[in-house]
Structure 1
Amino acid sequence: MADKIPDLHAEVRAGTGKGAARTARRNGMVPGVVYGGGADPVALQLDFNKLLTRLRKGRFMSTLFNLKVEGHDDVRVICRGVQRHVVKDLPTHIDLLRLKRTSRVNIFIPVEFINEDECKALKTGGAILTVVRNEVEMNVLAGDIPDHITVDLTGRTMGDVIHISDVTLPNGATPVIADRDFVIANIAAPKVLAADDEDDEAAEVEADAVPTTDDAEGDKA
């Protein structure tokens, strides 16, 4: 299970409203608010450059953070909204939601593939593991977030398609997309082999299209 949740540093923002927000932005900060969790909302501000770096890494909205604010206890939060400048597309405000350990949250979990050496198609058959999803959005407990989802390749054969239903999921974790059995990966034939098969099929079609000697003589008659 995940034992290291990334820290998100913030400061308490003096004042609220548009004036205080503009002052924060002039000082290189992004105004925001943290709310929920049975406590009063707190106006915050975050360093613009550090926040922008986090946003550009991706998955910010589905990452659980440990919010650190001087004078306040650390609390787990998830982002529930980022307002952006309509022209520059830069962050202008951020909304954070406090979570209890028993809260459930949607978050992307990385997929890890193991035992490739136990898959003959991959080890000696020249097959290729084609990963369709290297992470899956899961609904999990905030206090029990898995590091990864494990896909065991032992005994897999050429042409196998691995669906989410084929994977043993961590306790308490369920896919957010629950109404269809989506594909995680497949074990595909080598491209050269696949191309040879296509060439053979094309040659067979071409051969069928060429008239035989008997057919040609019959046409002349």
Structure 2
Amino acid sequence: MAGEIPDLEAQVRTGTGKGAARQARRDGMVPGIVFGGDTDPLPINIPFNKLLTMLRKGRFKSTLFNMKVDGHDDVRVICRDVQRHVVKDLPTHVDFMRLKRTTKINLYINVEVSGEEECPGLKKGGVLTLVRPEVELVVTAADIPESITVDISGLEIGDSATISNVNLPEGAKPTIDRDFVIAQVSAPSGLASQSDDEDEDETAADEVPTTEMGASDGDKSND
């Protein structure tokens, strides 16, 4: 993830207050502010269409951005608030926070799988399901992993790998406070259906209709 931090280009907003913000919106921009760190707050404008596209992709407020503003050094930021129009639900203002290296943030980290070639469950025809392709972690801004890896080399059919099986980067922890499933190996659908049919056949064989038993006893008494 550290090598995939998306750029977010912005412009310095000249002037402050409601008048400058309204002018920015008329110009097709969304006014915003960058705060935090050891630097004064910086008023900015972001192109409306670009911001709307990123918002529609989802998880905007849990994505780390590399903000680029002309005349200023690039800085890592994370969104802290998006104000929207009460009727149109379109963005009208956005707040970003500068991040120090020690800042703790919540980010979605991609999950990679290892051990597929050694996995006994897959060798027997099992199917791998990656239940969580991403996991939300609390990480420090200076130590953001590109991904986390779940090892399935020991999984049999029906087994699961949970977050406790993953070696997380130092200082990182899941936002969910329980041992949730990351990946699982299940039986192929055809094998599962066949197993269900066999179970039904065994149940049917064990069941002897009482009417037949009664008829049989009657026949014996007549003899």
Cα distance in 2 for partners of 1:216, 1:209 equals: 16
Instruction: In structure 1, give the amino acid aligned to 2:179.
Output: D
**Cα pair 2:151 2:165 within 8 Å, conserved:** no
Return 127-136 or 207-216, whichever deviates more: 207-216
- Tell me what 1:137 maps to: 136
**Cα pair 2:82 2:95 within 8 Å, conserved:** yes
**Contiguous gaps of at least 5 residues in structure 2:** none
CA drift of 1:218 comes to 4.5
Secondary structure of residue in 1 paired with 2:11: strand
Return 90-99 or 79-88, whichever deviates more: 79-88
- Tell me what 1:64 maps to: 64
**Contiguous gaps of at least 5 residues in structure 1:** none
Q: CA 1:19–1:211 in 2, change beyond 3 Å: closer, same or farther?
A: same
- Tell me what 1:205 maps to: 203
Instruction: In structure 2, give the amino acid aligned to 1:190.
Output: P
- Tell me what 2:73 maps to: 73
Q: CA 1:216–1:92 in 2, change beyond 3 Å: closer, same or farther?
A: farther
Secondary structure of residue in 2 paired with 1:52: helix
Q: CA 1:206–1:37 in 2, change beyond 3 Å: closer, same or farther?
A: same
In the TM superposition, what are the counterparts of 1:61-140 in structure 2 within 5 Å? 61-122=61-122, 124-140=123-139
Q: CA 1:208–1:18 in 2, change beyond 3 Å: closer, same or farther?
A: farther
In the TM superposition, what are the counterparts of 1:176-195 in structure 2 within 5 Å? 176-177=175-176, 179-195=177-193
Secondary structure of residue in 2 paired with 1:3: helix
Q: What CA deviation, in whole Å up to 9, does each residue of 1:142-163 have, x standing for no partner?
A: 0110000101222221111111
Cα distance in 2 for partners of 1:40, 1:48 equals: 24
Return 77-86 or 208-217, whichever deviates more: 208-217
Secondary structure of residue in 1 paired with 2:194: helix
Secondary structure of residue in 2 paired with 1:34: strand
Q: Give the aligned CA root-mean-square deviation in angstroms.
A: 2.0
Cα distance in 2 for partners of 1:215, 1:155 equals: 54
- Tell me what 2:162 maps to: 163
- Tell me what 2:13 maps to: 13
Cα distance in 2 for partners of 1:167, 1:218 equals: 64
TM norm structure 1:
0.91
CA drift of 1:216 comes to 4.1
Return 200-209 or 130-139, whichever deviates more: 200-209
- Tell me what 2:145 maps to: 146
Cα distance in 2 for partners of 1:87, 1:206 equals: 61
Cα distance in 1 for partners of 2:130, 2:69 equals: 40
- Tell me what 2:28 maps to: 28
Instruction: In structure 1, give the amino acid aligned to 2:169.
Output: P
CA drift of 1:49 comes to 1.2
CA drift of 1:215 comes to 4.4
Q: CA 1:57–1:219 in 2, change beyond 3 Å: closer, same or farther?
A: farther
Secondary structure of residue in 2 paired with 1:118: coil
Q: CA 1:125–1:107 in 2, change beyond 3 Å: closer, same or farther?
A: same
CA drift of 1:219 comes to 8.0
Cα distance in 2 for partners of 1:210, 1:49 equals: 71
